[in-house]
């Protein structure tokens, strides 16, 4: 993590220039839709989730709709996202929590969100940052984990420890944007097996760059 505090400003600046349109790629119009989409996105591409939710959101419009859903029918509707049985249980239980504890509305605090069935800190960060504009933490997915380690911004492997390291370095106003920047960068340049270091806009700031 040597020199991380000095490098983080230029790293963020260059990535913002490279990916000016970086944002949440899960299609949604309200916090509930984003919450459902985020649960579906586990071990699934955002592209596939968006295909599934296009029809799903037409049928299920409120938390009560999901809470009262027929499990077998919902399983078939989300089947192509994988792990559909567990996801169905999570969505229905989460929606029941919303109806019973929050009047059917998605809460706006970390503690309330993680108390919902199927919602962990990562999902809560997605909702707070992208649905409510609240920078409570940093989403750590596979791209964020890989690239943050390559950049020597952390030496941790555990997502929550990585998040804590990043929160010490990255300005709070960029906490929500950071994972979107790294997701774009990870897909196009800093790939897992064959990073394109020669094309990387931040290669001069990266200790792991190829010669």
For the cut 80, the answer to whether the pLDDT of residue 174 exceeds it is: yes
CA distance 94 to 136: 21
- Counting residues of the chain whose pLDDT is more than 70, the rounded percentage is 99
pLDDT in tens, 19-68: 999 999 999 999 999 999 999 999 999 999 999 999 999 999 999 999 99
Question: What single-letter DSSP state applies at residue 186?
Answer: H
CATH code that applies to domain 3-23+138-205: 1.10.1670.10
Active-site residue (options: 46, 65, 89, 141): 141
Of 4, 57, 7, residue with least CA distance to 27? 57
The verdict on whether 122 is a catalytic residue reads yes
pLDDT value for 205: 97
- Whether residue 40 contacts residue 52, with contact meaning beta carbons closer than 8 Å, is answered with yes
Q: How far apart are the first and last CA of the chain?
A: 20
Torsional class of 159: left (φ above 0), alpha (ψ -120 to 50), beta (otherwise): alpha
The domain ranges of the chain are 3-23+138-205, 31-132
Q: Which CATH architecture has domain 31-132?
A: Orthogonal Bundle (1.10)
For the cut 80, the answer to whether the pLDDT of residue 2 exceeds it is: no
pLDDT in tens, 188-202: 999 999 999 999 999
pLDDT value for 210: 77
């Amino acid at each position: 993590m040597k020199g991380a505090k000095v490098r983080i400003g230029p790293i963020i600046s260059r990535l913002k220039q490279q990916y000016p349109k970086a944002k949440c790629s899960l299609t949604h119009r309200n916090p509930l839709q984003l919450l459902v989409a985020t649960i579906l996105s586990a071990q699934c591409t955002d592209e596939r989730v968006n295909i599934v939710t296009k029809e799903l959101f037409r049928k299920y419009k409120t938390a009560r709709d999901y809470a009262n859903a027929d499990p077998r029918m919902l399983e078939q509707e989300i089947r192509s996202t994988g792990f559909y049985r567990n996801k169905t249980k999570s969505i229905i239980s989460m929606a029941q929590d919303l109806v019973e504890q929050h009047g059917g509305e998605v809460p706006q605090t970390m503690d309330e969100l993680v108390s919902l069935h199927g919602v962990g800190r990562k999902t809560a960060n997605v909702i707070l940052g992208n649905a409510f504009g609240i920078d409570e933490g940093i989403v750590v997915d596979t791209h964020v984990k890989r690239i943050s380690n390559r950049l020597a911004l952390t030496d941790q492997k555990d997502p929550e420890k990585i998040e804590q390291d990043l929160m010490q370095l990255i300005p709070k106003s960029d906490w929500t944007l950071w994972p979107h920047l790294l997701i774009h960068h990870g897909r196009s340049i800093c790939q897992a097996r064959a990073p394109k270091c020669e094309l990387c806009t931040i290669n001069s700031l990266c200790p792991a760059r190829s010669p």
